[in-house]
């Protein structure tokens, strides 16, 4: 049996949507992009969507539109895809890492205030693996200190914090629609906001900084981050499946957790305030991670490291962060890995995952 770490659910409806768009004669950014923006923004409970070429691009235009610049500091997590922090550095600002909670692996909001300085301009929380950050204390701190909040919700389409969808809390929120995400447009991302001026600025930034009503007039230094109608057509079909995907992901985790509860593994779970969408099935083990991962791979179950411990990545070592300040994140990275939680996993595949993990843990007991 072969179980890849991700398997996009692309069917005949997506294929037909692409063909229809190509036959329309308009394949670049157009009406389909606008429709996708409106649909996804409405789903998340936000007024405006700005579709772009990737989740990284969404973060870049979000931070740029908020005026993040050289010398500014942005507080974020050390445990994420490096795409979270790269846009901070693109703007010559400095990422300030706050350690994570051991239970959720999200940024520990209790540690944020001590890292705020006069240079701090924004907080960038990440809803890692689809589990919401504890947002109430974070938003209170941001308001107290006059800071912007940009949510990285790349893993968290449809997740909820105290009944409200993530992506609707910060000044801007950013999503990815890459092939392994909860829904996909193959490549793509989106920034959401309730601020009309920010939305318009981000639309300019994605299109070379060009004025909406004046062709080839560029009041801003912008980028080429546009989404095509072909990608948006796929995303629109995927939107119709999102709630079903979330339900299946949650059912998968519930089933696997029950099968694996007797093992000495730390398994995914959600806090009382959270409705998690379980982007992947992440696991922490106190010993023998490498042996377990090797056994899984040889058994046909693809794995991935527990995202990146960003302060140790070569481009970030120049900031000379004290790794002791992020000890929980570093330990989680050393002990953790993840496997697939794609929605169409069969019962046979789930049982195979459970039995293989049990066999793997016996190698290290």
Query: Residues for the chain: how many in total?
Result: 365
Element (H, E) at 201: helix 196-206
Beta bridge partners of 165: 160
Catalytic member of 32, 121, 181, 289: 181
Element (H, E) at 192: strand 189-193
CA triplet 316, 181, 263: central angle to 5 degrees? 85
Beta bridge partners of 120: 73
Beta-sheet pairing, 304-305 with 274-275:
unpaired
Q: Which two tokens stand for residue 208?
A: 């070379």
- DSSP assignment of 270-302 equals --TTEE---SSEEEE-SS-HHHHHHHHHHTTB-
CB-based contact 295:355 (threshold 8 Å):
no
- DSSP assignment of 113-152 equals GGG--TTEEEEE-B-GGGPPP-HHHHHHHHHHHT-EEEEE
Please give the Cα distance from 335 to 307 (Å, whole number): 12
CA triplet 248, 231, 205: central angle to 5 degrees? 115
E-strand ranges in 2-116 read 48-52, 73-76, 79-80, 94-97
Look up 181 and say whether it is catalytic.
yes
* Catalytic (active-site) positions: 181
């Amino acid at each position: 049996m072969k179980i890849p770490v991700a398997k996009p659910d692309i069917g005949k409806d997506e294929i037909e949507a692409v063909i229809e768009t190509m036959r329309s004669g308009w394949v670049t950014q157009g009406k389909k992009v606008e429709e996708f923006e409106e649909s996804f923004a409405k789903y998340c409970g936000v007024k405006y969507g700005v579709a772009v070429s990737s989740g990284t691009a969404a973060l870049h235009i979000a931070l740029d539109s908020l005026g993040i610049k050289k010398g500014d500091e942005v507080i974020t997590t050390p445990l994420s895809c490096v795409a979270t922090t790269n846009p901070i550095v693109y703007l010559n600002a400095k990422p300030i890492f706050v350690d994570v909670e051991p239970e959720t692996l999200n940024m520990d909001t209790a540690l944020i205030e001590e890292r705020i300085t006069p240079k701090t301009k924004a907080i960038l929380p990440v809803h890692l693996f689809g589990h919401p950050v504890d947002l109430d204390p974070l938003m209170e701190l941001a308001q107290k200190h006059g800071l912007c909040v940009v949510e990285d919700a790349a893993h968290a389409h449809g997740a909820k914090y105290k009944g409200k969808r993530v992506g609707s809390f910060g000044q801007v929120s950013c999503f990815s629609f890459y092939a392994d995400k909860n829904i996909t447009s193959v490549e793509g991302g989106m920034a959401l906001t309730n601020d009309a001026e920010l939305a318009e600025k981000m639309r300019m930034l994605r299109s070379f900084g060009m004025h909406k009503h004046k062709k080839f007039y560029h009041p801003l230094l912008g980028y080429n981050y546009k989404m095509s109608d072909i990608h948006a057509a796929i995303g629109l079909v995927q939107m119709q499946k999102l709630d079903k995907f979330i339900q299946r992901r949650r059912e998968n985790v519930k089933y696997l957790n029950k099968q694996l509860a007797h093992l000495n593994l730390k398994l995914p779970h959600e806090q009382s305030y959270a409705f998690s969408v379980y982007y992947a099935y992440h696991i922490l083990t106190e010993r023998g991670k490498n042996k377990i991962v090797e056994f899984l791979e040889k058994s046909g179950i693809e794995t991935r490291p527990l995202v990146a411990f960003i302060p140790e990545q070569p481009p970030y070592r120049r900031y000379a962060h004290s790794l002791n300040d992020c000890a929980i994140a570093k330990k989680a990275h050393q002990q953790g890995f993840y496997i697939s939680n794609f929605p169409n996993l069969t019962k046979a595949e789930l049982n195979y995952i459970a039995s293989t993990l049990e066999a793997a843990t016996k190698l290290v007991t």
